[in-house]
Chain A
Amino acid sequence: AQSVTQPDIHITVSEGASLELRCNYSYGATPYLFWYVQSPGQGLQLLLKYFSGDTLVQGIKGFEAEFKRSQSSFNLRKPSVHWSDAAEYFCAVGSNNDMRFGAGTRLTVKP
């Protein structure tokens, strides 16, 4: 069965520190991969996506993610976190009309 795991429910980092959010998936074929960000009470905004090709993808707001087929992972990274990055982050995996979302990782940024 298809599934997405975000192992970290909550992460706290200091402003200016680097960030890595983990995402692991189980899927029959090579899926499409996405990271979304959600502020409280808001909809989801797409940060970046992977369909094929270069396994390191760049997104908005200085985020990047790397697809590692051998590890079934698509981890999100940012070299220097800003206070405005505090939000909930969702990894999503699937095909065109069959998307599976992880449970989310809540990011807190310390001043």
Chain B
Amino acid sequence: DGGITQSPKYLFRKEGQNVTLSCEQNLNHDAMYWYRQDPGQGLRLIYYSQIVNDFQKGDIAEGYSVSREKKESFPLTVTSAQKNPTAFYLCASSIRSGRGRREQFFGPGTRLTVL
């Protein structure tokens, strides 16, 4: 059963702690993305990666870090430097079609609450 999995679904952390969100895909997609979603706002791109061991910052990368050691995995670490980390985090992946186009497929999301 192919898809994107994110774990955990809900995550609670104390202020000042780093936390890592998991994202795994078995779709054989080359590109993976992390978005942040806040109420009343659209999705904002945090980081994306097109190949293993390479990634680019999105619009709101400050306070976040990522790694891409395997094609299937793209974990996101929310560091203590992120000033307002409570949000819904969505992971996505995509593959380039024969015409060079991409469409993104999304995981179920992780809701992070910092207490």
Contact of A34 among B44, B45, B103, B111 (CB under 8 A): B103
Main secondary structure of the interface of B (DSSP, over half): strand
Q: Main SS of the interface on chain A?
A: strand
Nearest residue in B to A42 (C-beta to C-beta)? B108
- Interface size range on A against B: 20 to 34
Contact A46 B100 (CB under 8 A): no
User: How far does the alpha carbon of A4 sit from the alpha carbon of B99 in the complex, in Å?
Assistant: 25
Residue numbers in A under 8 Å from B31 (CB-CB): 97
Is there an interface contact between A97 and B102, defined as CB atoms closer than 8 Å?
yes
Tell me if A96 and B42 are in contact (CB < 8 A): no
Give 5 pairs: A residue, B residue, CB < 8 Å, sorted on A: A43-B4, A51-B101, A90-B43, A97-B33, A104-B42
Chain A residues in contact with chain B, CB under 8 A? Answer: 4, 9, 32, 34, 36, 41-46, 49, 51, 90, 92, 96-97, 99-104
